[in-house]
Chains A and B, each alone.
Chain A
Amino acid sequence: MMNQPFKRRVTEALLSAPSLLWLLVFFAVPIGLVSVLAFRPADLHGGVGSGWTLDAVKAAADPAYLPIWWRTLWISAVSTLLCLLVALPMSYHLARMSRRWQGIMVLLVVLPFLTNFLIRVFAWRTLLHPDGMLCRALISMGVMTEEQQLLYNAGAVVVVMFYVQLPFGILPLYAAAEKFDFSLLDAARDLGAGELRAFWEVFVPGVRGGLAAASLMVFIGAIGQYVIPQMVGGVDSEMIGNKIAQRVFSDRNLPEASALSSLLLLGVLLLLMVNALRRHYASKEVPIA
């Protein structure tokens, strides 16, 4: 006869099997394939040869990639910082609104998702284009000259990245701010903190969990981007995603693309592990009295 706990565990396993299988087939297996490919040789026809080699890994570790890694990091970091700077006060104000307005505003935040990503980036291309209305307006106001460009540089990549990633910064911060006890801000004001000081000293530490989640979501989303630098960036604003895409689509060198992807994946995993450790220690800090 089966005992109750065992029976329950079997039921649990059966119930979670479909989603586990889904994760396995569409997530774990492709990642495994990519990391295996990194150790295969490339053949001349753009396919993958047999046998094992470190050629692709060595090629991916080429110092020539370093400036591109560096650019990938700073573009992602700057756009993450911009997103947080806007998302923090936004989540603060969102959480203080009436329930009704909170619903409307959150809907507005996620509204861009209803439009295709490529179309949204394309809209930015039109907006920033030398013949676009923004450029024409700035030139006629004398803010910029005919020779200067808004498009095809790292600045354009940062701006569009910021726009695309902003909802991923707002949503986790809003979730944290909604649970924040706003009477703490009254207490801070009461004890002599000005409005801004109370925000930094009490609100920001109060939503630090949401802050970490928002940083990760925005940064990880940014670091793997290749469409945005491709469409609004120039030759000097390529990111590592563009290199991976080039290796796949132009050079037909799947092993080297796989090696680069695996490096990127390792970096992201490292970030996630640091966050998991942080959460682990944060939860340990508060035993019940």
Chain B
Amino acid sequence: MEDFLAIDALCKRFGHHRALDGVSLQIREGEVFSLLGPSGCGKTTLLRLIAGFDAPDSGRILLQGKDVTSLPPEKRPVNTVFQNYALFPHLTIRENIAFGPKMAGKSRLQIASAVERMLSLVKLEEHAEKRPTQISGGQKQRVALARALVNQPRVLLLDEPLAALDLKLRQHLLVELAALHREVGTTFVYVTHDQAEAMSLSHRIAVMNAGRVEQIDAPEILYRAPRTPFVASFIGDTNLLDGLVTGASASGSVVTVSGLEDWEVTVSTSIPVGKNVTLSLRPEDLMVSSLDSGPSGLSAVVDEVIYFGAFTRYWVTCAGQRLLVQTHSNAALARGAAVKLVIDPTRLHLLDTAST
């Protein structure tokens, strides 16, 4: 269903800082929707507005067509998993999970069965009588999830739920979170600054920067077709190249990439001649090889080699332009080696320069 949760032109200032500068987006029922961006981009502010902890200066929040903008948090069918979990330290795990149904005025029997169901969902039955200080970080995270899901919210808000955990546990819980979502089917709004987390979990991602939404798309589209330089460099690594439109062709425009003077590419959009543009080129779409083999290419020099096991990364300089290259080949190219740089022009992606 479209427009399950609609964010309509939200603005929020803190003093002179514009935390949210007219954000609009639509979240569909049952999807995992991520708000992704660097710290201070407004993603947590947006989450707090959806939860009802803060009120926007202007704009509306509609849940299933109903305006909830001025409802207090306890009146919204929305629950939150907090970054620091915010488990009640004076209550046991069981009592923490029971807090929601207790506040909702459920009967003792209903509370007990709901808590039991959540405990088994997050596999914490044997820790039910412990206190939050007695369990590990990963377990706390699962308690926070159970506590937020027990009231069967329409939307589950997750505020960087994995940020406090170490890498291995984070990867493990990410898989668990995806499985949990399949099981409960609740709409997830997931706030994170970690693009890998967002990419692996989400159906759609809103990339935010400086209080605005830069682009909303599925992870693959964000990666393959970023609209702005910010999105291109925030989602994965990329080479940003400056270009100048030098001519028109039947199918679009001819762009000369600066730095690589004699290199002209054709793009499918038609842009007025003389306009400056930015192009994005992913490191894995570049190839380096030794001078004596393979297809022809531009000549470059290897500045740095970083070996990752599954792949190797090279920093190369080509006609004064520094480029990042990622290859799976094991052909060891040494630092300082003169190499051939092969670029597939179809992989060059033109960024929307109007927004920069």
Contact = CB atoms under 8 A, between A and B. Distances in A.
Nearest to B105: A192
Interface in B50-106: 51-53, 72-74, 78-80, 82, 84, 86-90, 99-100, 103-104
Nearest to A182: B86
Contact of A287 (B86, B134, B148): B134
A104 interface: no
Interface in A175-216: 181, 183-184, 186-195, 197, 201-202, 205-206, 208
Nearest to B104: A192
A195 B90 CA distance: 19
Contact of A189 (B73, B133, B151): B73
B151 A205 contact: no
Interface residues of B, number: 28
B72 A189 contact: yes
B90 A189 contact: no
Nearest to B97: A191
Contacts of B131: 285-286
A277 interface: no
Interface string B118-137: 00000000000001011110
Contacts of A190: 51-53, 73-74, 78-80, 148
B86 A183 contact: yes
A33 interface: no
A192 B151 contact: yes
A155 B90 CA distance: 37
Nearest to A181: B86
B147 interface: yes
| Most chain A CB inside 10 Å of its own CB: which residue of B73, B87, B100, B104 | B73
A288 B133 contact: yes
A265 B103 CA distance: 44
B74 A193 contact: yes
Nearest to B53: A186
Interface size of A as a range: 20 to 34
A206 B134 contact: no
B88 A189 contact: no
Given A197-B103, A206-B90, A286 B134 contact: yes
A184 B88 contact: yes
| Most chain B CB inside 10 Å of its own CB: which residue of A184, A287, A288 | A184
Contacts of B89: 184, 206
Contacts of B80: 186-187, 190
Contacts of B148: 190-191
Given A191-B99, A192-B103, A193-B103, A186 B82 contact: yes
Contacts of B88: 184, 187-188, 202, 205
Contacts of A285: 131
A289 B90 contact: no
Nearest to A197: B103
| Most chain B CB inside 10 Å of its own CB: which residue of A197, A202, A289 | A289
Contacts of B51: 186, 190
A187 B151 CA distance: 13
A200 to B, nearest CB: 12
B74 A189 contact: yes
Interface string A275-289: 000000000011111
B100 A289 contact: no
A195 B103 CA distance: 12
A173 B263 CA distance: 72
Given A184-B86, A205-B90, A191 B133 contact: no
A200 B27 CA distance: 35
B70 to A, nearest CB: 15
| Most chain A CB inside 10 Å of its own CB: which residue of B87, B90, B104, B136 | B90
A182 B53 CA distance: 12
Contacts of B135: 289
Interface in A152-189: 181, 183-184, 186-189
Interface in A192-243: 192-195, 197, 201-202, 205-206, 208
Contacts of A205: 88, 90
Nearest to B86: A187
Interface string B128-155: 0001011110000000000110010000
| Most chain B CB inside 10 Å of its own CB: which residue of A184, A189, A205, A286 | A189
Contacts of A201: 99
A289 B52 CA distance: 33
A201 B89 CA distance: 12
Contacts of A208: 90
Contacts of A289: 133-136
B8 to A, nearest CB: 22
A187 B82 contact: yes
A191 B100 contact: yes
A193 B76 CA distance: 11
Contacts of B136: 289
Interface of A: 181, 183-184, 186-195, 197, 201-202, 205-206, 208, 285-289
6 contacts: A181-B86, A186-B53, A191-B99, A195-B72, A205-B90, A288-B133
Interface of B: 51-53, 72-74, 78-80, 82, 84, 86-90, 99-100, 103-104, 131, 133-136, 147-148, 151
Q: Which 8 pairs from chain A and chain B are nearest by CB?
A: A192-B103, A187-B86, A191-B100, A189-B73, A205-B90, A183-B86, A286-B133, A190-B80
Given A181-B86, A187-B88, A191-B151, 7 more contacts: A187-B86, A190-B80, A192-B103, A208-B90, A286-B131, A287-B134, A289-B136
